[in-house]
Amino acid sequence: MKGLIKKDIFMLKNNTRYFLIFTLFYFLVSLNQTEPGSSTTFILPFLTIVMMISTFSYDEFNNWFSYAAALPNGRKNVVKSKYAITGITTVLSTLLSIFLAFIISNIKGNFSYSEMLSYLIGSVFACIFMTSIIYPFLFKYGSEKGRLVIFAISSMTVGAIVLLSKISNIKIPSRIVSILTGYGLLLLIIASVLMITISYFISKKIFTKKEF
Amino acid sequence: MNNIIEIKNLVKQYEDGFKLGPIDLEIPRGIIVGLIGENGAGKTTLIKSILNIITPTEGTIEMSIDDQESPLEEVGIVLDNAFFPEILTPKDIDESMKDIFKNWDSELFYKYLRNFKIEGGKQIRTFSKGMRKKLEIATSLAHHPKLLILDEPTSGLDPVVRDEVLDIFLEFMQDEEHTILLSTHITSDLEHIADRIVFIKDGKVTLEKDKDEILDNYGILKCDEEFFKKIEKEDILFYKKEKYEIKVLVENKNKISKKYKNSIIDKITLEDLMILTIKGDEIR
């Protein structure tokens, strides 16, 4: 698996310049915002997912998956390495976001740890959520259709939030509310682990049976 | 078992109607086996089935390789139009392959790159088609494989480089445990290096013989319409009417030349064999 992770890192390396330009841009935008770190925290991990999807496009363009399937343990390791590298890049970009938020806050002097922590949890969860849903589609249908799925998921999420805010006066049993507020973080962690695990096994199943 | 690959009753049925097989084929260890056939005959499908890139509908493929847990460790591959993404460099390939193959030999890889005049730091997309093929060949050899499975390894190469590559394949065959299975439509390459020829037509193996036996035994009888009528049906494998003559593919050319006095029987090339078998007509 290490070899395949390296291969993806070498591919991502080619886009580092764009990533840095983008980071700088958002850094400057954030400096001029009232809320510190709010945009950078979410944007950078999201950007890494977009970059990961672009590795799928390059892979498909040169029929890499066909070649990889004929390498020792190729099929299994392709799926494993894609999930692993996404995990690594998401963590790294989240750390970078925190670092930037920290600098911005120091410059502007309105640093709030609790606010940053909630952004951080939100962005990591959003990344896991996106990866979990998109990757099985990417392995099944390829990156072109995968992009459509991202668009569909984003629209549906926004739609759901709007819908929820409209019907928020619906009475939620107080017992559920207390569970959500008390164990929110724990529930998020459990949900994330569960989602990514299920997603990984679905992708693995799709990819081991796929023909090239 | 002295066969490195044994294929039994292999069938691959595609939804678009193309069907490969049923194929029974044995690839003996220590020789070069050449797969020939026109485009779309099923050569790539057969190779992909052996390499587990596609799943056969029926049948079994057994590889007799020491590393039973991971037989692909010992197989070097060149596929038609499938390789590392082109934004990578040969150096990136070396770094990745180190952790993919147990026996990856960086020194050997760079030796091939030097021989092929390939720059390690340049992205593959800047390479010509021939350079890419050479890089794929270098990659296939750099983990000391025992079996090479090559789909169109010499396509896109100029004659000089092709010759160079064929020499490398012959050098690989110096070890008598080594085997090559290669498909090509450049049949003259096979005349140089192959020991055995497998001819695939419309998804089926129509001929499987030692190359020398084919070249010594088969011939092309060239004649006019009048002479053609005198030839017994069972002596005509395939025939093709051309502007000034009729070409007849015959087996046992020595026997045939004795049987039909004044007949001219030319030596056959694999290309003739392919063209006559595909384009020619059958009487039987």
The string of pLDDT tens digits covering residues A178-199 is 666 667 778 888 888 999 999 9
B83-135 pLDDT, tens digit each:
999 999 999 999 999 999 989 999 999 999 998 889 999 999 999 888 899 99
B121 vs B89: CA distance, rounded Å = 6
| pLDDT tens readout for residues B216-259 | 888 888 887 777 777 777 778 888 888 888 888 888 877 777 77
Q: B96 at the A interface (CB within 8 A)?
A: yes
**Collapsing DSSP states into helix, strand and coil, what is residue B239?**
strand
Nearest Cβ partner of A67 from B82, B87, B89?
A: B82
- Per-residue b or e along A63-96, where b marks 16 or more CB atoms closer than 10 Å to that residue's CB: bbbbbbbbbbbbbebbbbbbbbbbeebbeebbeb
pLDDT mean over A134-163 = 81
**pLDDT classification of A207: cutoffs 50, 70, 90:** very high
C-alpha A81/C-alpha A8 separation (Å) is: 8
Domain end residue (candidates: B214, B235, B260): B214
Q: How far apart are the first and last CA of chain A?
A: 20
DSSP state of B140: H
Together in a domain, B156 and B178: yes
Contact criterion met (CB below 8 Å) for B46 and B35 = yes
Non-local (6+) Cβ contacts of B199 within 8 A are B36, B37, B205, B206, B207, B208, B273, B274, B277
Same domain, B223 and B196: no
Chain B: give the shortest CA distance to residue A140, in Å.
15
Q: Do A67 and B84 touch (CB under 8 A)?
A: yes
Q: In chain B, how many domains are there? A: 2
CA distance A136 to chain B (A): 19
Give the contacts of A12 (CB within 8 A, at least 6 positions apart).
A51, A52, A55, A85, A89
| Least CB–CB distance from A71: residue in B86, B92, B100 | B100
- B124 part of a folded domain: no
pLDDT of residue B273: 85
Q: Please indicate if any CB of chain B lies within 8 Å of the CB of A58.
A: yes
In chain B, which among 101-120 make CB contacts under 8 A with chain A?
Answer: 101
Q: Considering B188, B214, B240, which residue would you say is the last residue of a domain?
A: B214
For residue B61, being part of any structural domain is answered with: yes
Judged by a CB distance cut-off of 8 A, whether residue A69 touches chain B is yes
Q: Is residue B105 a part of any domain in this protein?
A: no
Q: Does B231 lie in the same domain as B199?
A: no
The first and second tokens of residue B35, run together, are 């797969």
Question: What number of other Cβ atoms are within 10 A of residue B115's Cβ?
Answer: 12
- For residue B269, give the DSSP letter: -
> Number of Cβ pairs closer than 8 Å across A and B?
82
- A59/B85 CB distance under 8 A: yes
CATH number of the CATH domain containing B72 = 3.40.50.300
CA distance linking residue A67 with residue B196, whole number of Å:
26
Q: List A residues 151-210 in contact with B (Cβ-Cβ < 8 A).
A: 209
pLDDT tens, residue by residue, A99-111: 887 787 777 776 6
Give SS3 for A174. helix
- Whether A145 and chain B come into contact, CB under 8 Å, resolves to no
pLDDT at residue B91, rounded to an integer: 95
pLDDT for residue B1: 53
pLDDT band at A157 (very low <50, low <70, confident <90, very high): confident
State whether B209 and B225 are in the same domain: no
Q: How far apart are CA A50 and CA A18, in angstroms?
A: 12
Q: Are B264 and B173 within one domain?
A: no
Of B194, B214, B234, at which residue does a domain stop? B214
B51, B55, B85: residue with CB nearest A62: B85
Asked if residue B8 is part of any domain, the answer here is yes
Shortest Cα distance from B269 to chain A (angstroms)?
A: 33
Q: What are phi and psi of A205, to 5 degrees?
A: -65, -45
Q: Are B85 and A66 in contact (CB < 8 Å)? A: no
* A67 contacts B48? CB cut-off 8 A: no
Looking at the structure, tell me whether residues B249 and B157 fall in a common domain. Answer: no
Q: Which residues of B touch A209 (CB under 8 A)?
A: 55
Contacts of A106 (CB under 8 A, 6+ apart): none
CB contact under 8 A, B70 and A6: no
Same domain, B67 and B155: yes
Given pLDDT bands bounded at 50, 70 and 90, which one contains residue B139?
A: very high
My answer on whether B206 and B190 are in the same domain is: yes
pLDDT tens digits for range B45-95: 999 999 989 989 998 888 887 766 677 888 999 998 889 999 999 999 999
SS3 of A20, please? helix
Q: Do A3 and B97 touch (CB under 8 A)?
A: yes
Span A153-170, average pLDDT: 72
The answer to whether A36 and A111 are in contact (CB under 8 A) is yes
At B171-207, the pLDDT tens digits run 999 998 899 999 988 888 888 899 999 989 888 888 8
CB contact set of B115 (below 8 Å; sequence gap of 6+):
B164
Residues in chain B: 284
Phi, psi of A190 (to 5 degrees): -60, -45
**Tally of CA atoms within 13 A in the half-sphere of B234 that contains its CB:** 1
Say how far apart CA B236 and CA B231 lie, in whole Å.
Answer: 7
Quote the pLDDT of residue A176. 62
Decide if pLDDT at A49 tops 80: yes
Range of the domain at B234: 218-279
Q: Do A3 and B83 touch (CB under 8 A)?
A: no
Return the pLDDT at B78: 94
B8 with B74, same domain: the answer is yes
What's the complex ipTM? 0.87
Residues B60 and B156 in one domain: yes
Residues B227 and B198 in one domain: no
Residues of B within 8 A of A52 (CB-CB) are none
Is A4 in CB contact (< 8 Å) with chain B? Answer: yes
